[in-house]
Amino acid sequence: MDLSVWRSESRASKEPNQQIHFVFLGRLADWKGVDLLLEAFATVAAQMDTAWEIIGDGEMRGELEAQTARLGLDSRVVFSGWLSHEQCALKMQQADIMVCPSLREPGGAVVMEAMAVGLPVIATNWGGPVDYLDSTCSILVEPDSREGFVKGLTDAMLKLAHSPELRQSMGQAGWERVREHFDWERKVDRMIEIYEQTIDTCQKH
């Protein structure tokens, strides 16, 4: 995957008293779990100064906007719709925490993009994102039941929101992990190493 647009060489720590910004990036479909994340975010927003930007569009947008209004979150949640690749990268760089609550996510591109800009990630412990994340750079929430999943998202958001040190360490670990294992430049280097080793072995025999 080409992460050149997303790659960030460093991330400055935010001051603890600044508003914490969560971000979601993806299609607004029922299986993405954004409705469950809204329930969790309502609890978080009631306890501390936070905001959440939802980047993307889809058939669920109207329902999600109505849910946002019912929960009294209009001043905390922004629906930005579809943005360009470059705009998404900038929004990610300005955020504090990426949340991916998808209940059946086949891929993991969005979490790699978050890792590439040094964002800690909260994600469902199922599907594609699990192939890229580990405990050093993310909090994985078990989708065991609706109530349990919402509580898990709430707890994870509060934990990261309250700890700038944890956000910084997880973000740094994610940046290093995606650079080492998933960036195309590193993959090309590794393929060259394998070819050279193979050629060297064949010549010796």
The domain 20-204 having CATH identifier 3.30.1740.10: the answer here is no
If DSSP codes are grouped into helix, strand and coil, which group holds residue 54? strand
| Residue pLDDT, tens place only, 5-30 | 555 554 544 455 579 999 999 999 99
**Structure tokens belonging to residue 105:** 């996510």
The pTM of the full predicted model, rounded to 2 decimals, is 0.83
Q: Comparing 18 with 110, which gets the higher pLDDT?
A: 110
- pLDDT confidence of residue 106: 78
Look up residue 7 and give its amino acid.
Answer: R
Domain ranges, ordered by start, for the chain? 20-204
Q: How many CB atoms lie within 10 A of CB 121?
A: 25
Output 48 or 127, whichever has higher pLDDT: 48
Short-list 96, 101, 129, CA closest to 29: 101
Six token digits for residue 14: 């935010």
Residue-wise pLDDT for 135-184, tens only, equals 999 999 999 999 999 999 999 999 999 999 999 999 999 999 988 877 64
Strand 50-55 to strand 77-81: parallel, antiparallel, or no bridges (unpaired)?
parallel
Torsion of CA 98, 73, 60, 38, to 10 degrees: 50
Banded model confidence at residue 187, pLDDT cuts 50, 70, 90: very low
Q: Minimal CA–CA distance to 36: which of 102, 104, 83?
A: 102
Quick check: 3 pLDDT over 80? Answer: no
- The tens digit of pLDDT for each residue in 117-140 reads 999 999 999 888 998 999 999 999
11 and 118 Cβ atoms separated by less than 8 Å: yes
Average pLDDT over residues 53-81: 97
Tokens of 136: 């050093």
